[in-house]
Amino acid sequence: MGKEFFGTDGIRGVPGTPPLDDATLYATGRSLGAYLRREHGAAHVLIGLDTRESGPHMASLLAAGLRQAGARVAFAGVITTPGVACLVRQNDFQAGVVISASHNPFPDNGVKLFSHAGMKFPDAVEEQLEAGILKLRGEPAPKNLPPLTPDESLHAEYLAFLRKRFIPGAKLSGFRIVLDCANGAASKLGPELFRSLGAEVIAMGDLPDGRNINAGCGSMHLDGLEKRVVAEKARLGVGFDGDADRALFVCESGKIVNGDGVLLAAARFLKSQNKLKGDRVVATSMSNLGLERALASENISLARAAVGDRYVLEEMLQSGTVLGGEQSGHIIFLEDSPAGDGLLTAAKIASLVSLNGKMESLVEGLKDYPQLIVNVQVRSKPPLETLPEVSRALAEAQSALGDKGRVVLRYSGTEQLARVMVEAEHEADVQRFSQSLAKALHSSIGA
């Protein structure tokens, strides 16, 4: 059975309109609370949010729904998505709720749900929750709800967890680091973490006003961070997204290192410590062929999962792999946490730079093959294999590229888009086949 509300990263939309209207949010809280009481006999739920101005109202509605279903609610206030996942796992919470649209622009928001294990609920549970929401959403939500009061001790607990994950032997005393916090959830926590580790922190995008989250800053807009790292002669730059579940990096030279580079650096270190189980890393279909070949040169295999950190985690758990992630900067260090955590990733990479001297040396030998991602606005999302024109264009591209390139076609899990990714040794092939596939998609299902 398909899901109406839940995408690859929870429920997304525009606050005030379905599925983020007041009645649906209230019903979501009630449905979650009822599910937890059925499964656990109790429901203690932690709520956190990013810095969007719509967040507090949404939190109050969800909390009201949970309480109506007999749940107890704790509120962490502004905190990262993986911070909630961490606290749920470490404490007596049956679930966690994060109100965030991650890297999306300010007008969007969303609801992400985590189980007691600190992982997103499986598809089957989300379907149960949807059934409850559909049954309850016809009832009006209460008005004039009081704001929730944050428990600041939860921040201290999360920061203590992160400090313990710093690589032994690394020292950040005198280490100059630039953090672009995207005017989001890491705005306070990121600088506080690295200052407590002894680093000299230069913070950007750390003045959220409710509307400037991800606006020309953070991991989606690295130009300012590149310039600042070079100007400040910093050892490292880190760009977070709005809810800080991802992190991208800038070397002291200004070179950008994405999630592929982080996976290579982390895999090399873990293998050197005999901690890379199975000499295997999990990435997604979007990771560059260059990563696969760089890992292979060191006898490390790369398994590819579907796009989405939940699918990376599923593959890691099934195969016993301890390191996985996405090109976009979601990295999972499974022995530390099952959640992609930008602050945890930043602590690990800063540790490695401290121990090795330069970020560039950590990713030496990684050659990115030319790659292009084209987004096509679509009016519907039928199975791609049912579209004859798209199938013909795909077969032509795959036949021409052979093992010297890759093509990935998929729908966005959060937007009305089809994504075309073409990767090849030659830029001309990338341009040719990405255009032919985008044209086929547009003529078949374009909006």
The per-residue pLDDT for 307 is 86
The letter for the amino acid at 194 is: F
Q: Could you tell me the pTM of the whole model?
A: 0.89
Cβ neighbors of 432 (< 8 A, separation 6 or more) are: none
**Of the candidates 253, 275, 293, which is a domain's last residue?**
253
Residue owning tokens 């994060």: 98
Give the total number of structural domains in the chain.
4
The per-residue pLDDT for 69 is 97
Residue 104 within any structural domain of the chain: yes
Residue 413 within any structural domain of the chain: yes
% of the chain residues with pLDDT over 70: 100
**Same domain assignment for residues 94 and 48:** yes
Q: What's the domain range around 232?
A: 156-253
**Same domain assignment for residues 151 and 163:** no
Q: Please give the structure tokens belonging to residue 250.
A: 């800038």
**Same domain assignment for residues 117 and 190:** no
When pLDDT is cut at 50, 70 and 90, the band that residue 300 belongs to is very high
Q: What CATH number is associated with residue 215?
A: 3.40.120.10
Q: Tell me the mean pLDDT in the region 436-441.
A: 96
The per-residue pLDDT for 2 is 63
**Same domain assignment for residues 151 and 166:** no
Length of the chain in terms of residues written = 447
**Same domain assignment for residues 236 and 249:** yes
**Same domain assignment for residues 97 and 27:** yes
**Same domain assignment for residues 45 and 137:** yes
**Same domain assignment for residues 161 and 197:** yes
Residue 323 within any structural domain of the chain: yes
**Of the candidates 208, 233, 253, which is a domain's last residue?**
253
Per-residue pLDDT of 49-106, as tens digits, reads 999 999 999 999 999 999 999 999 999 999 999 999 999 999 989 999 999 999 999 9
Residue 197 within any structural domain of the chain: yes
Q: Which residues are marked as active site?
A: 102
Give SS3 for 213: coil
Neighbour-count burial for 197-234, b at 16+ CB within 10 Å, e otherwise: bebbbbbbbbebeeebbbbebbbbebebbbebbbeeeb
**Same domain assignment for residues 240 and 261:** no
- What angle (nearest 5°) sits at the alpha carbon of residue 147, between those of residues 142 and 149? 140
**Same domain assignment for residues 161 and 244:** yes
The per-residue pLDDT for 149 is 96
Cα–Cα distance for residue pair 386/355, rounded to 1 Å:
52
Residue 394 within any structural domain of the chain: yes
Per-residue pLDDT of 385-405, as tens digits, reads 999 999 999 999 999 999 889
**Of the candidates 131, 155, 179, which is a domain's last residue?**
155
Listed residue (387, 386, 430) closest to 408, CA to CA: 430
Q: Greatest CA span in the chain, whole angstroms?
A: 62
